[in-house]
Structure 1
Amino acid sequence: MAPQLLKLPIGSISRILHTTPSLSFLSLSRSPKLSVRWVKAQIHSPFRSYAVASSGKLQAPKKKRRLDEICLERFQQYSRTFIQSWILQGKVSVDGKVVNKAGTPVSEKAVVQIMAEIPKYVCRAGYKLEAAIEQLGVNVAGKVALDSGLSTGGFTDCLLQYGASFVYGVDVGYGQVADKIRRDERVCVIERTNLRYLSELPQKVDLVTLDLSFISILLVMPAVINVMKEDAILVTLVKPQFEARRSQVGSGGIVRDPMVHQEVLEKIIKGVENLGFCSNGWIESPLKGAEGNTEFLVYFSRTAERNAN
């Protein structure tokens, strides 16, 4: 083995000389100006761990990041909601071991696996729109659509999977859209935009879907009509908690009274019909809202004849 050079304080060398015959003394600095005297020593294999000075650059410790961040980067087709839910359910493993805390530090070189049923859409909203398309006979294929209330992109994902040619996704928020949707060439994401004040789009659309919160559907309809073709169709998710009077909304923001549900539904249908639309039917959403509210989906069509009247 080739000799390796190491600088050690003289006191350390003295202790090593008394215990180790494999260490040979080479030179000694006796400068009185130094508070510590140094020597050069030839070190053989028993002291290989001391030869740091001759090994080049020190290796930086492996970088670690939060588990949920790594999952979002590697599995970009899924939303943060899905990722964090799977982690909490113990369906994510790191190097073969289950980890159920989203903030757990994980090496970027770790093998991360998701052991869960892969969802059809980036979020649960996609299943709501799917129910309307299937049960109400909504034709999506080949249409240019506006999806307002884009959020994670569940409605948009559903529209694309049912054959929409292009989708403009509008949302008042920012940074919520799943990467799968954001990176799709068939999608134009328009964030930090309140639909109520949307003046135009690059083209008129054939179909509009609405999944809005904290605002009534009727308040945004003028802007919706402005970007629709004369024969366009509309599918809207009706959320009673944002349409009912404050006195009708119970604790936790939940509307429990079926009579209020009916009142809200009738108000929205009549209000949209008064703007030149025809109601083609409605269904109760197969999934409740995040807080447990019952929701409804209504399908409207718009004709040139009805609009002219």
Structure 2
Amino acid sequence: MKASNAQSALVPAGKNALSLGIMGSLGNIEAYISAVNRLPMLTQEEEVSLARRWRNENDLAAAQQLVLSHLRLVVSIARGYLGYGLPHADLIQEGNIGLMKAVKRFDPDQGVRLVSYAMHWIKAEIHEYILKNWRLVKIATTKAQRKLFFNLRSHKEGLDAMSPAQVEDLANSLNVKREEVVEMETRMAGHDIALESQSDDEDDKFAPIAYLSSDANEPTRALEAQQYDRLQSEGLEAALSKLDDRSRRIVEARWLANDDGSGATLHELADEFGVSAERIRQIESAALKKMKGTLAAFA
């Protein structure tokens, strides 16, 4: 199975792959799944240690152990895509590729477990595989559709669409509904579209991948979003609490009064406090500098 080949690339030189308990002649997918589920799981401390060895020392044995301990996750995720009509083994092998990509990019110092990070990469690889095979999977699924698929081309005259009379005749001869004939003809007339552009042409920037892909759920971006939210709430309040009343009033009036950033002017605040606009600018500058130091703890 391709999954086993992919995994074997992480086996260190000189180590017998059969000793891992999942390589070799397993015979069928059930034996593979059974072997995978017997592999020990890692504690968080073990996971962090292995990930640092892989990142800092390029230790293939550590990377291999990270992959093997998460193979059961791939099996579980792949099981959820069995309804697409693709073999479970093929879904698992593609998910294993995603898992290895996740291990390669995993940063143990981000504070997130590998299982959470790897789910994104595993699903992305399986999604890509399903999309590439979507047309082959969906073009003929029922018995009537398979009959139409193999008979429609021989009944068509040229590349033009069938006339209503031709559709009716074919439906009667194959004992199917005319709507099914029309649907199958439409499916067969369609062409596969590359998900990604095959050239650097400016016109190809609108390939499907450009509007189908989304980084919103990518683990690193999710962590960045959480960090930004914390900075906006806890960090900002803590920074403002370090200021005296006048400084806080100036900062809030200048920068936090409106969402569009159109706060009070220096002259407006100068009239409010009975000082010069230059003095307001100095107070504002000192307050922002002080806040920056407080916010550094939340970055």
* Alignment TM-score, normalising by the size of structure 1: 0.22
- From the two aligned structures, give the one with the greater helix fraction: 2
- Greater radius of gyration (CA): 1
- From the two aligned structures, give the one with the greater strand fraction: 1
